[in-house]
Amino acid sequence: MNILAFESSCDETAAAVVKDGRTVLSSVIASSADMHAVYGGVVPEIASRKHVEAISGLADEALRQAGIGKSDIDAVAVTYAPGLIGALLVGVSFAKSVAFGLNVPLIPVHHVRGHIAANYIAHADLEPPFLCLCVSGGTTAIVDVRDYTDFRVLGGTRDDAAGECFDKTARVLGLGYPGGAPLDKMARGGNDRAYVFPRAHVEGNPLDLSFSGLKTAVLNLIHNAGQKGETLDFHDLAASFAAAVSDALIPRVMEANQLVGYNKIAVAGGVAANSRIRADLTAACEKAGAKLWLPPLALCGDNAAMVGCQGYYEYLAGHTAGWDLNAKASLDISKG
Ligand code: KG4
């Protein structure tokens, strides 16, 4: 079954052709990140306009690279939630028109379900149930993947997402947008104990997280040093910051693992590319005797191959949409 998939939830427009869920025939991405960099964050209107400009050409390119024609497409999958509403609407409207024109089913895909599915593309042996740490620009959650379309959130951030915290910190360090990857690079070789940052504990659910205090602590440190004319070691600061994020995430993932008892752990989303988080999780899983699946860096960020993959499993579960499908800015993964 060939699925033509689209992703447009934030600042990446992407199209892909995925065969039978796990074989990627093509995957193309156009990012408008450069345009947002000037503003230090995503400008929704610009993102939407760039999606409109890019999506049709990307669809053609995805078919060309896959070496198939329109008549070989069996279904169209699209990210419909969560994300920037105007951005999502571009993908949803375009996917609807393609599915309608080709007279094939339209499959709605939850963005974070897609991120989790990126792991299926890379790892043929991975099957639910497993535990997944979902960490991206908009999401931070520890998810019990009970089945391909059955999810339960065990813990999540009460405020900022981990990626947002990386991006804001990177911005004040002058690393531009999106700043997660350059901040990760800056942290390498730095002393992770040079600066003391808070590790928040959230009342009510020990698996929940909070990153707003960490973000404020970093910003205050930098601004106070600037006012006093003190020099900070940015490598040490980046390393200390990455350690604080990782220390918030990894123990909770391992606690959740004990709770579900799968001993099977995966990671998903843009922040899954972070070297400190990958290293700490690898060590923690080795210690606990749990099997770990890490997505390759190319599949951590937004792409449409992951949407085509998850779309296949949604289709098998009977989850198709009518022509009245709408985009949703927010939606719980368990309800997607
Ligand atoms: O999954 P993604 O491409 O988009 C969302 O669905 O949000 O994630 C983007 C986020 C950004 O916040 C970006 O700074 C962060 O992932 N990111 C990283 C790294 N690479 C990307 N954060 C930390 N370390 C990295 N190496």
pLDDT digits (tens, 9 = 90+) for 219-274: 999 999 999 999 999 999 999 999 999 999 999 999 999 999 999 999 999 999 99
- Tokens representing 85 are 């509403």
Q: How far is the CA of 296 from the centre of ligand 1 (A)?
A: 13
Interacting residues of 126 by C-beta distance below 8 A, sequence separation 6+: 119, 120, 264, 266, 293
- Whether residue 273 lies inside any domain: the answer is yes
- Taking the centre of ligand 1 as the mean of its atom positions, its distance from the CA of residue 163, in whole angstroms, is 5
Angle at 299 between CA 84 and CA 105, to 5 degrees: 65
Question: Quick check: 197 and 241 in contact, CB under 8 A?
Answer: yes
Q: In this structure, what token pair is assigned to residue 123?
A: 């790892």
Domain assignment of residue 306, yes or no:
yes
Q: What residues of the chain score a pLDDT lower than 70? A: none
As given in the structure block, the two tokens for residue 179 are 């700043």
| CA dist., res. 207 & res. 251, Å (int) | 9
Statement to judge: residues 104 and 6 lie in one domain: yes
Place of tokens 């997944």: 132
Residue 39 lies in domain: 2-116+301-335
Angle, in degrees to the nearest 10, between helices 111-122 and 305-316:
100
First to last CA, the chain: 22
One-letter amino acid for residue 330 of the chain: S
The verdict on residue 44 lying in a domain is: yes
Residues 279 and 132 in one domain: yes
Pocket residue to mutate for ligand 1, from 115, 135, 136, 175, most atoms within 8 A of Cβ:
136
Rounded distance, CA 242 to CA 225, Å? Answer: 20
CA 180 – ligand 1 centroid, Å: 6
- CA of residue 133 to ligand 1 center, whole Å: 14
- Total domains present in the chain: 2
Task: Say if residue 60 is in the same domain as residue 174.
Answer: no
Domain of 77, CATH number, reads 3.30.420.40
What's the confidence (pLDDT) of residue 239? 98
CA–centroid distance, 301 to ligand 1, in Å, is 6
Which residues lie closer than 8 Å to 191 by C-beta, 6 or more apart?
233, 235, 236, 239, 240
188 close to 275: Cβ distance less than 8 angstroms = yes
The answer to the question of residue 164 being in a domain is yes
Does some domain include residue 122? no
Residue 41 burial (10 A CB sphere; 0-12, 13-18, 19+):
middle
Look at residues 295, 208, 285 and name the one whose alpha carbon lies nearest to residue 254.
285
Q: What is the pTM assigned to this prediction?
A: 0.96
pLDDT attached to residue 17: 99
Whether 121 is covered by a domain: the verdict is no
Q: Counting atoms of ligand 1 from 1, which one is nearest the CA of 162? A: 12
In a domain, 123, yes or no: no
pLDDT of residue 46: 97
As a whole number of angstroms, the distance between CA 287 and CA 225 comes to 39
CB-based pocket (< 6 A), ligand 1: 10, 136-138, 163, 166-167, 178-181, 184, 269-271, 273-274, 301-302
Which of 166, 168, 299, 302 is the pocket-test mutation for ligand 1 (most atoms within 8 Å of CB)? Answer: 166
Cα separation of 325 and 98, whole Å? 14
Task: Say yes or no: 137 and 279 in one domain.
Answer: yes
The answer to whether residues 163 and 254 belong to one domain is: yes
DSSP 147-215: ETTEEEEEEEBSS--HHHHHHHHHHHTT--SS-HHHHHHHHTTS-TTSS-------SS-TT-B--HHHH
255 and 135 within one domain: yes
Query: For residue 168, what pLDDT is reported?
Result: 93
In terms of DSSP bridges, do strands 12-19 and 140-147 run parallel, antiparallel, or are they unpaired? Answer: unpaired
Instruction: Give 123 Cα–ligand 1 centroid separation in angstroms.
Output: 21
Strand order in the sheet with 130-135: 150-156, 140-147, 130-135, 264-268, 291-293
Residue 40, pLDDT score: 85
